[in-house]
Amino acid sequence: MLIRRPPDIKPSEITPRGLYLDRRRFMLAAGALILLPGAAGAALRFDGAVKTRWGEGLDVTSVEDATSYNNFVELGSDKSSPKRNAAALVTRPWSVTVEGECLKPGALGVEDLLAPHPLEERIYRLRCVEGWSMVIPWVGVPLGRVLQRFEPTSRAKWVEFTTLHDPQRLPGQRRAVLDWPYVEGLRIDEATHPLSLLAVGMYGDELPAQNGAPLRLVVPWKYGFKSIKSIVRIRFSETRPKTTWNIAQPDEYGFWANVNPEVDHPRWSQKKERRIGQFFKIKTDMFNGYASEVAHLYAGMDLARDF
């Protein structure tokens, strides 16, 4: 598009490019979070992600297995459909709206949402309620650091996440298999726990569409359906969110979704799991192996009833 400058504007009145860029950086640093949808910030540098201690000693699932055997109903209901339909999910431009019980609501592009925090690589287990699991090197930013920028109020007891609703980009949404859009939620102390991760990459590269590009949640001590994909909205709430799978099948998908091998699924045992790429089943650990870090969050709760 050709933009013509009226002849009566003096050159001295035109904002220099350098000053404009400095002002934009200042606004981001100061927390002025209202940007145009899909606004682009600095490119994410996956090669510079800080490696953490998480996952030391674990055998990582192969890239091929992790990107071809997926639960992402919005791209298809079987395990191979998400990769087959991945090209439909265009992830640029992309913006995330943050709203609700917070002092600084806004809308940000993915890059600006995560800035100024450095990306981290964390190798986490992720277990599906169906009894299979993977070990993946995720790249992202701790969710709590991101949420703090929006200054949640004392009324923010819960955090609700919503997936993109666009049947053109997510062909699985053309069928009413669930009540779209997909919604998940965490208690505020779960969301701000150091293990909770907003992931934008895996295996040192950007997330593939079938794994939840461009932005997904990873909560490693919970079943995989809690780790919502392709997020477009984050909302702080005083009341517990109504979440998609808990509404659809509450006897199979409890709101808390903590990995507990002592609570069987109505149709199968949860005591063992099959790591994708391996033949033999292995014992399922309480809280997926993260009990020492998160068990205190549920002190006093009945984990058989609050499953």
Token pair 């791209």 is found at: 75
Tokens of 49: 């992600």
Domain segments of the chain as ranges: 45-298
pLDDT tens figures, 45-103: 788 899 999 998 899 999 999 999 999 999 999 999 999 999 999 999 999 999 999 99
Distance of CA 136 to the CA centre of its chain: 14
pLDDT tens figures, 194-241: 999 999 999 999 999 999 999 999 999 999 999 999 999 999 999 999
Token pair 């997904």 is found at: 216
- Among residues 231, 72, 86, which one has the least CA distance to residue 163? 231
- Among residues 116, 101, 215, which one has the least CA distance to residue 163? 215
DSSP E strand stretches across the chain: 50-51, 95-100, 106-109, 120-127, 132-142, 158-163, 183-187, 197-202, 205-206, 216-218, 231-237, 272-275, 282-283
pTM: 0.86
Report the phi/psi class of residue 289: left, alpha or beta, with left for phi > 0 and alpha for psi in -120 to 50: left
* pLDDT exceeds cutoff 50 at 110: yes
Q: Report d(CA 298, CA 104) in Å as an integer.
A: 30
Q: What is the dihedral of CA 63, 206, 108, 232, to 10 degrees?
A: -30
Tokens of 135: 């070990």
Distance of CA 92 to the CA centre of its chain: 17
Q: Which residues pair with 139 in a beta bridge?
A: 121, 201
Q: What is the dihedral of CA 108, 110, 113, 114, to 10 degrees?
A: -170
Token pair 């510079």 is found at: 48
Provide the greatest CA pair distance for the chain: 77
Give the percent of the chain with pLDDT over 90: 83
Q: What per-residue confidence (pLDDT) applies to 43?
A: 66
Token pair 């014992």 is found at: 283
Tokens of 33: 């979070």
Q: What per-residue confidence (pLDDT) applies to 45?
A: 79
Annotation: CATH topology of 45-298: Sulfite Oxidase; Chain A, domain 2 (3.90.420)
* pLDDT exceeds cutoff 70 at 28: no
**Rg from Cα positions in the chain:** 21
- Among residues 22, 28, 32, 50, which one has the least CA distance to residue 41? 28
| Phi, psi (rounded to 5 degrees) for 51 | -80, 135
- Among residues 205, 206, 207, which one has the least CA distance to residue 228? 207
Q: Which amino acid is at 208?
A: P
Q: Report d(CA 282, CA 264) in Å as an integer.
A: 16
* Preceding omega of 93 cis (within 30 degrees of 0): yes
Token pair 């006897």 is found at: 251
